[in-house]
Every structure is written in C-alpha cells, then in structure tokens.
C-alpha cells in the first residue's frame, strides 16, 4: 500500500456532538490521498463508538489515557505516515477544497514548511457568522508569530513532515521514549510556542493562502474567569525560550504581551465580563502604547467594545457584530489560548 500524501491528525476528547461533521468534512475532500488519525484522548462520552462506526480503511484510531491536546497531537503525528501533516480539531471542520489547495501551495512553493489559510467562524448549528480570521499571509517573521500568531487556530495549518523531524525532541513518558513536537507540559498557548520554536530554532517558512478553508466553531460559554490563567500560560513561552533567544524576547516581549492582553480583553467582552475587559485593554495600552500606532482601528475598537459591553447584552450584541465586520473580522477567538472542548 502506497503512503498517503496527507495525514490528518484529529485529537478527540468528548466531542460526540461534532465528531461526525469533522470526519465527514475530511472524507468529502476533493483531494482523496490521505489518512485520518483520530487520537482518542480518554473520551468518556460516545466519541470512541462514533469513530468505530466508520468503515473506511483510511481512518485509524489511537487510544490513550487523557493527556491533553498537545500530547494527543504528538501521538497522532508519531503515528502519521504522510508527507504532510494536517491538524484538525474535532469540533471544527473543513471546506471540500482544503487539502487540494494546500497541496498546490506546497508544490508551487517547495521552501514552505507551514501552509495555512483563513478561517470562517461558525456556531453550534454550523451556520457561518459572517466573521472570521484573516491573518497576514506572506513575509512571516518570528515577531509576527509571537505578536499575532498568523496561523490562527489548530485546524488551519498543514505542516511539511521534514520540519517536524527537525524540531522533534525525544522525551520519556512512563519509561517509554517518544518524539515530542508540541510541549506536553502546556495546556494553553502550546501552538504559539511550537510555531515560534519552529521559526526561531529551525528558520521555518510560514505562508498562507487567501481562501478561507477552515470552519472554526465558536462555542458559547464564559472564559473570562480564566484570563489570568491564559496570560500566565502565554508568558511561559517567554520564560521558557528567553535563555536561548534573549535578544529576540528583549525586543518583542512587551509588544507581544500588549497584543495578548488586547486579545484577552476581547475574550472577556465575549464572556460578558466588561469590567475585566476594561482592566485588560488598559493594561494592553500601558504595556506597550505602540499597539495604538500599529493597529489603531482594532485597538480603539477593542477599547470601545470593553466599555460598551457594560450595556445590556441585547443592546451590545448587535453593536459588537457590526464593529467586528467594520474593522475586517476582528478575531474573537484564537485557538492558542481558548478552552473549547479540548483533548
């Protein structure tokens, strides 16, 4: 049997509501040379039964005790045989042209290590919300990754296997050696840490394609109580990597933290905690006022939304949606620090 071109790695943890939509979106791809590796990370719902109901030889199931999203991705990558590794979270799904577009992108640009695409936001009913993530596509530098994470979310990227081989680290778990790619000690921001490590350590080339090909599910539910935890997790990236790249982090850390606080202010707004959002947006500007010059519309927009969110939700909700659309799909959600249904 010939090796697949793509290995699609799907971490699975208690996602019975979304799993069929996710897997069916891969099976419906116009490019059919792939395998699907579903890593059941200790699910306690019917997720495993759903996986076992598929009778497609291209679907492989890896079972493990619950270890978290990073470990589940690592297990899937270690089991993968494809030339390219495509990541897909089980509560998201793809449009049919996803793999064929990335295949053409890699073929036309052999130096690219990571290919990604914009994402459309959808709700619980798979309805598009009219907003999404439309990141920078070309000329990506490490500071772009640190400050803005253009890859966007865990269902957008496709990675060349050779990069994974270069960046892998051998670690021991329960007296068993395996290769680690994403840092398994992190439960949030592990993707930003991984992309940044690829860029700084290996000089990885990142480039996006303009078509929105990933459908990213926006789950309702408050996250504002976790913003300090999320910020602490994000700061761990600098703590971990500064000794190796001191010049880079000295130059860019304050600006990156300002962007992170601005993002978390948006999360607090979405969660209905206007007071926390106000504290965070002021903290962002205080940390590095340069965000007012670099992205004035988005920064002032976030500032206004933080205060307007104190209004009753029925009044504020349409104002927020209009503002987001007016400034180009201001990102409400960035998978690097959210807590959706995660492995």
171 with 286, same domain: the answer is: no
Average pLDDT over residues 240-265: 95
Identify how many contiguous H helices and E strands the chain contains and give both numbers.
13, 13
What is d(CA 213, CA 102) in angstroms, rounded to the nearest whole number? Answer: 10
Kindly list the distances between the CA atom of residue 201 and the CA atoms of 44, 185, 193, in Å, as whole numbers in the listed order. Answer: 38, 19, 11
Exposure string of 188-211, with b = 16+ CB inside 10 Å and e = fewer, is bbbbbbbbbbbbbeeebbbbbbee
Please state the domain count of the chain: 2
What is d(CA 161, CA 198) in angstroms, rounded to the nearest whole number? Answer: 12
Average pLDDT over residues 238-245: 95
Average pLDDT over residues 144-170: 95
38 with 155, same domain: the answer is: yes
150 with 234, same domain: the answer is: no
Q: How is residue 304 written in tokens?
A: 């206004």
DSSP annotation of 222: -
213 with 229, same domain: the answer is: no
Position 256 in a domain: yes
CATH number at residue 28: 3.90.550.10
Task: Using the predicted structure, report yes or no on whether residue 177 has a pLDDT greater than 90.
Answer: no
**Which domain range does residue 95 map to?**
6-217
CB 281 within 8 A of CB 265: yes
**Could you say which of 174, 198, 217 is where a domain stops?**
217
Backbone torsions φ then ψ of 70, nearest 5 degrees = -60, -45
**Could you say which of 217, 241, 258 is where a domain stops?**
217
What is d(CA 115, CA 109) in angstroms, rounded to the nearest whole number? Answer: 10
The pLDDT tens digits for 77-125 are 999 999 999 999 999 999 999 999 999 999 999 999 999 999 999 988 8
**Could you say which of 217, 233, 257 is where a domain stops?**
217
Position 334 in a domain: no
Best CA proximity match to 19, nearest among 45, 62, 51 = 51
What is d(CA 300, CA 143) in angstroms, rounded to the nearest whole number? Answer: 22
Position 1 in a domain: no
- Residue 79 has what pLDDT? 96
The pLDDT tens digits for 24-62 are 999 999 999 999 999 999 999 999 999 999 999 999 999
14 with 148, same domain: the answer is: yes
284 with 300, same domain: the answer is: yes
- Residue 301: band (very low, low, confident or very high) from pLDDT cuts 50, 70, 90: confident
Position 306 in a domain: yes
């Amino acid at each position: 049997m010939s090796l697949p071109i793509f290995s699609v790695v799907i971490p699975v943890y208690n996602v019975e509501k979304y799993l069929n939509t996710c897997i069916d979106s891969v099976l419906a791809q116009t490019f059919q040379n792939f395998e699907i590796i579903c890593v059941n990370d200790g699910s306690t719902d019917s997720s495993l039964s759903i996986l076992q109901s598929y009778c497609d030889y291209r679907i492989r199931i890896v079972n493990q005790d619950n270890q978290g999203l990073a470990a589940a991705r690592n297990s899937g990558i270690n089991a993968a045989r494809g030339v390219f590794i495509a990541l897909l979270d089980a509560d998201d799904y793809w449009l049919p042209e996803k793999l064929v577009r990335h295949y053409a992108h890699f073929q036309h640009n052999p130096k690219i290590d990571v290919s990604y695409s914009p994402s459309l936001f959808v709700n619980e009913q798979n309805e598009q919300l009219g907003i999404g993530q439309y990141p920078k596509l070309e000329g990506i530098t490490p500071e772009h990754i640190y400050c803005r994470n253009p890859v966007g979310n865990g269902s957008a990227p496709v990675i060349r296997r050779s990069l994974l081989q270069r960046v892998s680290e051998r670690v021991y778990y329960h007296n068993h050696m395996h290769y680690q790619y994403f840092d398994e000690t992190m439960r949030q921001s592990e993707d930003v840490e991984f992309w940044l490590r690829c860029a700084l350590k290996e000089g990885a080339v990142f480039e996006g394609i303009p078509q929105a090909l990933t459908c990213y599910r926006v789950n309702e539910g408050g996250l504002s109580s976790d913003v300090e935890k999320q910020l602490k997790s994000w700061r761990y990236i600098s703590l971990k990597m500064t000794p190796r790249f001191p010049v880079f982090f000295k130059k860019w850390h304050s600006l990156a933290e300002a962007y992170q606080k601005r993002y978390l202010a948006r999360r607090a707004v979405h969660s209905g905690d206007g007071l926390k959002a106000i504290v965070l947006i002021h903290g962002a500007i205080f940390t590095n006022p340069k965000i007012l010059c670099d992205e004035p519309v988005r920064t002032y927009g976030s500032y206004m939304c933080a205060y307007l969110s104190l209004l009753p939700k029925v009044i504020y909700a349409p104002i927020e949606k209009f503002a987001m659309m007016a400034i180009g799909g201001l990102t409400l959600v960035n998978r690097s620090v959210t807590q959706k249904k995660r492995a």
